[in-house]
Amino acid sequence: MQKIDPFISLYRRELFPGSIKPAGENLDSESEAFYFQFRGFRLSRVGFGCYRVGLGNPTHKKALILALRSGVNLIDTSANYGDGEAESLVGEVLSEEFAFGNLKRESVCIVTKAGYIQGRNMEVAEQKEASGNPFPETTYYQPGCFHCISPEFLEDQLDRSRKRLGLYTIDIFLLHNPEYFLMDRQKQGVPEKEAKNEYYRRIREAFSFLERARADGRILYYGISSNTFPDAEDSYTGTSLSKVLQISKEVGGDDSGFSVAQFPANWYEDGFLRNHNSAGENLLATCRNFDILPLVNRPLNSFISDKGMVRLAYQPGRDREALIAALESLFKELKTYETRIQDLLESQTGFQSLNSQWFAYREKIQNIEQLHQILGRSWIPAVQSSLKFISNHLGKSEAIRYTDLLNKTIPYFEEWILLHQTEARSSLYEELKGRFHSDRHGPSSLSSMMVLHLSQLLQKGTVLIGMRKEEYVKDILQLKDQVWSPISEEEWGYHGIRS
């Protein structure tokens, strides 16, 4: 008996033809400073990152539409973002914008990634294993999270991504954090040389497949997204861009499709500037010298060993008390609704109040990372169970109403946590404003300043940022009025020179 495809509801009916095309225009004018040219393509310096973007959230859809209509023309997503729903949202928006004539296929660059086996992909993997045909060379990293970059798995993922996005050709297809293999081997005590040899062999096999996919028009270019690109090359889990470039030339020759390196970069995690390869180059220099497009992720979320995740966000002049009052009013609305539901259910077990959980734990949550963990592991599963209970006992329309209220409220949990954290970032904002913007008008928030500085460091590259609300999009779009000039690598970053 054939199993039902767990992703079938996320597929578009048709695959839109075409890909991004060379712009063939001069970008020297001041109005075009928000863009740069990479191999003839006109790309925005800021890209829309789809991590934690969901198909059923109208706020996310509105933000993506605003970004596209405002000139952001690079979208970064992944097969595992939202368990496939992020790609589907992108596909839905693109289909509508193409149909309305607001956007042309040749003017937008779509980036997606593959490598993780979790959620619905875990169901696919389990079905294949049960049939005696498992994905080969799977890394069983931990329960609920496997990893694979074998050609067989990439073939499967590429096909599903194209159908969710509704695109015949994906502009850029990336291997997603292949270093999970090295992390797993390090845990097992495998000698580093042995692990590295196998790691790069697997990357070579993946590149061979991607060259074939490029030849038949399913992708335009490919690359790697790795959290360990900025690490020292001699670290066990480090991914060497120099070694990857060597492999790409051996596989694809001078016309290799390997063109993109994605990695984390922010004020505290500045290894992309500080660490150098055997040729004495840092990561950005290697990208420039080999015409590789750098895509920066996590520009505002720094992982610090003794502090966890630090959010680089602060906006001077913000009316803190008014914002707190507005947030509390929103939470009160959730409480009132849940109390009414509990009264209607007459104390039947099966409904769990999210509001009560929030007020019980919010003062104990130290950072956004902890919030995401408790949401994913406890609160969201409980909410999903409650929605089923409401639908069964009070009807589908009541469940839809509760869903709408949750979609409106849950994003503001993060806003509340950030509000109680970001005042500590005020000194960093004032320091950077004085050092880099003393003689001119600078960005009005720390987040937009971080994105501007990273873009200036990249020169020809895109900073990816999660703009899940229209207000986040507007905060970043103010950068269109800024001067996009190079910035000193030596002076920027937590470990940089203090002048």
Query: What does the pLDDT read at residue 384?
Result: 85
Q: Could you tell me if 14 and 38 lie in one domain?
A: yes
Q: Could you tell me if 337 and 377 lie in one domain?
A: yes
Span 126-145, average pLDDT: 95
Structural domain count, the chain: 2
Q: Could you tell me if 294 and 224 lie in one domain?
A: yes
Query: What does the pLDDT read at residue 277?
Result: 94
Q: Could you tell me if 292 and 345 lie in one domain?
A: no
2 compared with 282, residue with greater pLDDT: 282
Q: DSSP 3-state assignment of 294?
A: strand
Provide φ and ψ at 38, rounded to 5°. -125, 115
Whether 201 is covered by a domain: the verdict is yes
Residue pair 44/451 in contact (Cβ under 8 Å)? The answer is no
B/e letters for 463-477, b = 16+ CB within 10 Å, e = fewer, are: bbbbbbbeebbebbb
| pLDDT level of residue 499 (50, 70, 90 thresholds) | very low
Structure tokens at 28: 């020297």
Describe the strand order of the beta sheet including 116-117 as a list of residue ranges.
Answer: 116-117, 145-147, 139-142
CA angle at 362 for the pair 310 and 326, rounded to the nearest 5°: 90
| pLDDT level of residue 481 (50, 70, 90 thresholds) | confident
Give percent of the chain above pLDDT 70: 94
Which of 294, 311, 328 terminates a domain? The answer is 311
Q: Tens digits of per-residue pLDDT, 358-370? A: 888 887 887 777 8
Q: Tens digits of per-residue pLDDT, 267-292? A: 999 999 999 999 999 999 999 999 99
| Predicted confidence (pLDDT) at residue 219 exceeds the cutoff of 80 | yes
455 contacts: CB under 8 Å, gap ≥ 6 = 45, 46, 461, 462, 463, 479, 484
Whether 159 is covered by a domain: the verdict is yes
DSSP secondary structure, 300-324, as one string: SEEEETTTEEEE----TT--HHHHH
438 contacts: CB under 8 Å, gap ≥ 6 = none
| Predicted confidence (pLDDT) at residue 354 exceeds the cutoff of 50 | yes
Residue 364 burial by CB count (10 A; 0-12/13-18/19+): exposed, middle or buried? exposed
Q: Could you tell me if 264 and 390 lie in one domain?
A: no
Q: Could you tell me if 264 and 373 lie in one domain?
A: no
Whether 484 is covered by a domain: the verdict is no
How many Cα atoms within 13 Å fall on the side-chain side of residue 46?
A: 30
Provide φ and ψ at 117, rounded to 5°. -120, 105
CATH number of the domain within which 51 lies: 3.20.20.100
431 compared with 274, residue with greater pLDDT: 274
Q: Tens digits of per-residue pLDDT, 42-58? A: 999 999 999 989 888 89
Provide φ and ψ at 111, rounded to 5°. -115, 130
SS3 content of the chain, % helix, strand, coil (to 5): 50, 15, 35
Q: Could you tell me if 48 and 186 lie in one domain?
A: yes
100 contacts: CB under 8 Å, gap ≥ 6 = none
Q: Could you tell me if 274 and 338 lie in one domain?
A: no
Whether 436 is covered by a domain: the verdict is no
Among 188-202, 304-318, 402-416, name the most confident range: 188-202
Q: Could you tell me if 44 and 129 lie in one domain?
A: yes
Whether 497 is covered by a domain: the verdict is no
B/e letters for 60-93, b = 16+ CB within 10 Å, e = fewer, are: bbebbbbbbebebbbbbbbbbbbbbbbbbbbbbb
Which of 403, 423, 443 terminates a domain? The answer is 423
Q: Tens digits of per-residue pLDDT, 15-35? A: 999 999 998 655 555 457 899
| Predicted confidence (pLDDT) at residue 307 exceeds the cutoff of 80 | no
Rounded to whole angstroms, the Cα distance separating 230 from 270 reads: 8
Q: Could you tell me if 197 and 261 lie in one domain?
A: yes
Note down the domain range covering 341.
320-423
Q: Could you tell me if 162 and 261 lie in one domain?
A: yes
| Predicted confidence (pLDDT) at residue 107 exceeds the cutoff of 80 | yes
Q: Could you tell me if 77 and 171 lie in one domain?
A: yes
CA-CA-CA-CA dihedral for 239, 243, 244, 247, to nearest 10: -150
